[in-house]
Amino acid sequence: MVVEETVPLWKQRANALKEELDSCIPEEWKLKTSPDSLPLNTINIVSDSGILSKEELGIISIDATDLASSIAKKKYTAVEVATAYAKSAAIAHQATNCLSRFFPKEALERAKWLDEQLQKNGKPVGPLHGVPISVKDHIGLKGQLACIGFTATIRETIADSLLVAKLREAGAVFMVKTCVPQAGMQLETDSFRGPTLNPYNRKHTPGGSSGGEAALIASKGGVLGIGTDIGGSIRNPCAHVGIYGFKPTVGRVPRTGGDGISAFYGQDTILATTGPMGRSIRDLELWITSSIMNEPWKDHPSVLKMPWRKDEVVFKNGNLPKIGIMWDDGVVRPQPPMRRALKYTKEKLIKAGFEVIDVLPYKSAEAWDITSSLYFSDGGETNRSNAAKTGEPIWPLTEWIMTQSTKPRTAAEVMELNLKRDIFRAEYHAYFRTLDIDVMILPPAPDPAPRLGTSKYWNYTSLFNLVDYPGGTLPTGLHVESTDIPDEAYEFTGKSDKEVWENYNDVNDFVGLPLGIQVVGKKYEDEKVLEAMKLIEEAIRA
């Protein structure tokens, strides 16, 4: 007698969600080639597909700022824009597995209403009028499911999160939600939905945990999106796919609502923040100013009463920021292409007249010990419970990050860790002051986008979650070249250093991947960091 194997509950839910999403993609928007047969590099798949018209290709080629202006001037209608991006999002998903939800019908209804309002009133409803905004899966969007990467956490959201509500007031159109990793705690994006893939090389990760957003926007399936960052989850993926991202100081933009922006409620030892991911630095600013223009601090006490103060930015050297470059965190050595990107940036900045100094790291190993212990003060019990509810396995990278905190902590132990955190923050503030710089440039990771399943070193980004400093990433325009050969074996500082070196063992697997840099500044100086990023990019592009 043949006994049929019972499909576990988590797999049933995963299959049902995949079938539902696939059914939302019209046949005429589906690729003729199966995903498994696509080339490794699909960065141009939307334009190469033949599915979009010439005008639609024009729509998806410009950034959100130009798009909003074009809609306001009636060059494009909101319906035309929504249609173009619905097609392109569907195509990008087929190549990279970046979407968790797809609802073009609702987006087109919203776009039609926006067109009617523009015709009726003669002006846009707000600065984002008609601009599609993609939403990371666990952020609340009314009427849509939200999930933190476990099937047990899937639930329908009955109201917009505060951030979504503010962006909707500004005129945004929502049509997709994007994939997150299991527990929302990986520098990759792998869960019951399968891995999200890097459009520059589908054997590599787009990063995480906002990897769905990154893959979508890099593929031109989206133009501006909502990411979150508790350890690098905006900055890391943006760097891995060659787009722009910004992690604000906690509280500068709304962060409440939906399914929570952490793997569990009530965790406030290290706070996550929402932030923009997009195609230009000015788009990041458009997102931020749109999210706070209607004073969200009146709606929720977690938002700081702090309008955007761009005009108050003052640099140490007048019109140009004084910049420190940190080449190495002292724990894991950046691989050759990452060092080349920093060297290129430094040369460009000096040529443009910037004052640039080299700076040394500060207690990087201690920072990671504190941070990783604070992430899972319950020893990972909440995540294991979520997995057990449906029989879902714990994915390897989820297991890895949870093992960085070895045990559940007592209340007294959490208090002690919080004290260590606060002491470190004070020490780092003093250290940054002694540097006498406006912003610091450093790698966003020790390596270009790693092969799937190998991303384990967080501290180039997580350090700035520990100290709550704002930071962003921008592409240098450089890519990995065949001459970026691995270093000869050297005396490794430890296990993490050796692992990163071993993973970068064949440059040919990495050729063509984009190279980004990270720019950070002091707490609450978000405007200064963003203005510095603009000037740094101008110098790099010159």
User: Of 215, 254, 238, 183, whose CA–CA distance to 404 is shortest?
Assistant: 183
**Tell me, what's the pLDDT at 302?**
92
Cα separation of 142 and 161, whole Å? 8
For the chain, give the number of residues. Answer: 542
The CATH homologous superfamily of the domain defined by 9-32+47-298: Amidase signature (AS) domain (3.90.1300.10)
**How many percent of the chain have pLDDT more than 70?**
97
**How many percent of the chain have pLDDT more than 90?**
94
Residues 6+ apart with CB under 8 A from 104: 24, 82, 86, 90, 175
State the average pLDDT over residues 104-126: 99
As a CATH number, domain 318-541 is 3.90.1300.10
pLDDT digits (tens, 9 = 90+) for 363-415: 999 999 999 999 988 899 999 999 999 999 999 999 999 998 768 999 999 99
**Tell me, what's the pLDDT at 264?**
54
Per-chain mean pLDDT for the chain: 96
Report residue 532 as tokens.
């510095």
- Give counts: helices (H), strands (E), the chain: 18, 13
- Does the predicted TM-score (pTM) go above 0.85? yes
Q: Cα 362 to chain center, whole Å?
A: 25
pLDDT grade for 1, boundaries at 50, 70 and 90: very low
Cα separation of 54 and 317, whole Å? 46
Examine the pLDDT at 258 and tell me if it is beyond 80.
Answer: no
**Tell me, what's the pLDDT at 259?**
47
pLDDT digits (tens, 9 = 90+) for 451-510: 999 999 999 999 999 999 999 999 999 999 999 999 998 899 999 999 999 999 999 999
Amino acid at 509: D
pLDDT digits (tens, 9 = 90+) for 208-232: 999 999 999 999 999 999 999 999 9
User: Of 189, 226, 240, whose CA–CA distance to 211 is shortest?
Assistant: 189
Backbone Cα Rg of the chain: 22
Peptide bond into 405 cis (omega under 30): no
Q: Cα 28 to chain center, whole Å?
A: 30
In the chain, CATH 3.90.1300.10 sits at: 9-32+47-298, 318-541
pLDDT grade for 265, boundaries at 50, 70 and 90: low
Maximum alpha-carbon separation in the chain: 82
pLDDT grade for 262, boundaries at 50, 70 and 90: very low
Residues with active-site annotation: 136, 209, 233
State the average pLDDT over residues 331-356: 99
**Tell me, what's the pLDDT at 260?**
46
